[in-house]
Amino acid sequence: MHVLQTPAFKKQIKKLHKNQKKDLDQAIKKIIENPSIGDMKKGDLSGIQVYKFKMINQLTLLAYEFYESKMQLIMLALGSHENFYRNLKK
pLDDT tens across 16-34, in order?
999 999 999 999 999 999 9
Hey, what domains does the chain have and what are their CATH numbers?
A: 2-89 (3.30.2310.20)
Q: Which of 75, 70, 82, 83 is nearest to 38 (CA)?
A: 75
Reported pTM: 0.93
| pLDDT score of 89 | 86
> Can you tell me the distance from the alpha carbon of 60 to that of 67, in angstroms, rounded to the nearest whole number?
23
| pLDDT score of 6 | 95
Residues 80-85 have a mean pLDDT of 90
Do 88 and 76 touch, CB atoms closer than 8 A?
yes
90 has pLDDT over 80:
no
pLDDT tens across 33-82, in order?
999 999 999 999 999 999 999 999 999 999 999 999 999 999 999 999 88
Q: What are the distances in angstroms from CA 39 to CA 10, 14, 49?
A: 22, 25, 5
* H/E segment holding residue 28: helix 18-33
